[in-house]
Every structure is written in structure tokens, then in C-alpha cells.
Amino acid sequence: MNELDMLQEILELKRKRKAIILAHNYQRDEVQDLADFTGDSLELSRTASAIECEVIVFCGVNFMAESAAILSPTKTVVLPEVEACCPMADMIQVERPRQMRAAFPGYAVQPSLVFPVEFSLKDLKKRYPGVPVVSYVNTTAEVKAHSDICCTSANVVKVVESLPGDEVICVPDRNLAMWAQKNTQKKVIAWDGFCHVHDRVRKEDALKAKNEHPGALLMAHPECRMEVLEVADHVTSTSGMLRFAKNSPHTEFIVGTELGLMHRLRKDNPEKIFYPLRKDMICPNMKKTTLKSVYLALKELKTIVSVPEEIRIPAKRALDRMLAI
Ligand code: 13P
Ligand code: SF4
């Protein structure tokens, strides 16, 4: 089947199944163009909980589809590529410790506020009894179920500030936790997880890009290291970057996040210029979904993502608390 026929089939199947296609800002260009809604994690969670449809095709990674299934249990949520996962989300588990150093050669432990990774979330909670747990949406449903509230890169500071007491636990992204720490008076107890796409960027990369494009503003995602965030002109989520670039009088930007965002940035701002912070900021899991996988997902309703009620209900509580902020 050629691409045009496939697009036609997708539209027909979508209508038949009363389906909606959601796509994260990091998806392939053609998948973004096909979607009914594109957005960051927060926008997609909101859309998944509010949208009227029978089927949600979630073009993203597994924790995102899982969040949609948690929020909308009466809808059928399908993840076109079952192996599209987020390695960072798998860096924390409720019970079982993770041996990250084995899985990520070259990985080095970060400074003092970060908790060693060989512990489980339960161990961490035992060590800091009564301290509220904020879990990034990039976590499994089970971790969300054992958290007080969720957050995304768009609202982490607001979420941390909304909690009682002087301390919060923030898992699993050490960089996001450090960003929250920089913007709050509370003590943030961080986990030692990271996104391999953002964490690989160093200060030298940022300075080199700024040097090559002296007129450009550097936008960086808070999953980047603090040394990068410190030299950035604006730190925000993916959709925050879309808004910032659109509203700014500046015409040149260095983009410090996964390269899938370039598509919307360029589409929304044809007169502006966008440079990648690093050309290898590509998330292989986000790129697994193709037009063909969307077509098959709709045709065969695969793979359906569901969460057992005993996990879904407490996980939903944590997501609802975030959405209420
Ligand atoms: P946002 O789109 O929420 O900024 O998240 C980035 C991300 O890495 C999602 O996996
Ligand atoms: Fe996970 Fe990073 Fe990929 Fe986002 S970009 S899905 S955080 S690995």
C-alpha cells in the first residue's frame, strides 16, 4: 500500500472506530501531521481525560498510553508500537532495585542531593517517612500508584510548591529534580534517573551552539543537566518552547530537546530559524511509531493498554491531583 492509500485507510478506520489520534511532540513528522492533537505530556494527559471518543491511539511511549488508560478507563487505549518505552521511566521501581550502572555503561553518580539508584521507591519512602512523593509522568503506573502526586516538565515547580512541609521526594529524573530545587525553597530529595537523550548534552555543547549562532536564544528542556540549564535563555517543556518561540520577537533559536519538536517549531514559525543543540538528540523509542504502525493499530486494535484497577485507582489519584493544579 502506498502512503496516500494508507492515509486514506487510516482516516476511514478512525471514523469507523470513533478514534482519536494523539501524538507527542517528539513523534515523526508524518505521525504528528496525521494526529488530531499533538502536545507535551501535560497537554496530552489533559486531552486524553477530556476527549469524547471510543478509541485513543497514543503515538508516544508506553507510560503516556498508560496514563491515558488510567485517566479514561472506559476508552480503548492503543499503543501502536508495544516496544516504545521510556528508559528513564524504567529507572525506578516500587519494589525491585535497579542496577543502572550495568545497563548504562559510563553512567556516573551525580552530586549529593541525589539518592543512589540501587534502592526501590519503597526504600526511599522508608528513609524519608511522611515526605510527599512527586513522580514525573515518565514513570510506570505502579510508581504513580505509590506517589502522592504526578508532575510534568511543565508544572514541576508548581506541584512541588503545592505540597505541605519543607521536603519533597522527586523521582525519577535527577535533572528535573535539580531544576525544581533551583526554583523552590523546599528541600528536594532526588532520584538518580535521567533521560539519555537530554543528559548527554554538556555545557560545552551549549556554549559551542551559542558561539556558532550568536543571535539565537537557547531553549532547554529541564531534563538537561543543570550545567546546560544555567546557560540557557529559557527552560521549559516541549510545548513551552513552542509558545516561547512563537511569542518571542527573536527570530533564531537553539533547540535543547528531542529533534521531533523541530517539525512543529518550523511549521508554526516559517519565518524563524531553529538550530538543534545537538544533532543526536533523538529518542529512538519515540521514533518507533510509523504511519504503518498507526494503520495496523487502528485496523487490529493493537496493542491495547490497560491497568489493573488496584493500580489504576491510586495512580489516577496522583494524576488527578496534578491536573487539578
Ligand atoms: P514534555 O513534552 O512534557 O516536555 O516531555 C518530554 C519528554 O521527554 C517526554 O518523554
Ligand atoms: Fe524517555 Fe527521554 Fe525518550 Fe522522553 S526523550 S521518552 S524522557 S528517553
**Ligand 2 centroid – CA 87 distance (Å):** 7
pLDDT tens digits, 66-113 = 999 999 999 999 999 999 999 899 888 898 655 444 344 344 444 444
Range 48-70 average pLDDT: 94
Residues near 303 by beta carbon (within 8 Å), at least 6 away in sequence = 78, 79, 80, 82, 297
The CATH superfamily assigned to 89-193 is NadA-like (3.40.50.10800)
Per-residue pLDDT, 240: 93
Atom of ligand 2 nearest to the CA of 63: 6
The topology under which CATH files domain 3-85+286-307 is Rossmann fold (3.40.50)
pLDDT surpassing 90 at residue 46: no
Q: Which ligand is nearest to the CA of 222?
A: 1
Handedness of CA 44, 46, 49, 54 (dihedral sign): negative
What residues does each domain of the chain span?
A: 3-85+286-307, 89-193, 201-276
pLDDT category of residue 117 using cuts at 50, 70 and 90: low
Host H or E run for residue 3: helix 3-17
Mutate which of 37, 66, 257, 261 for ligand 1? The one with the most ligand atoms within 8 Å of its CB, which is 257
Are 3-85+286-307 and 89-193 equal in CATH topology? yes
The count of C-alpha atoms lying within 13 angstroms of the C-alpha of 144, restricted to the half-sphere facing its C-beta, is 30
CATH number given to 201-276: 3.40.50.10800
- Using CA atoms, how far apart are residues 4 and 76, in angstroms rounded to an integer? 26
Amino acid found at 191 = W
The residue nearest atom 1 of ligand 2, judged by CA position, is 86
**Ligand 1 centroid – CA 16 distance (Å):** 31
Q: What is the pTM of this model?
A: 0.93
pLDDT tens digits, 198-228 = 999 999 999 999 999 999 999 999 999 999 9
Residues near 39 by beta carbon (within 8 Å), at least 6 away in sequence = 22, 24, 25, 47, 239
pLDDT surpassing 50 at residue 154: yes
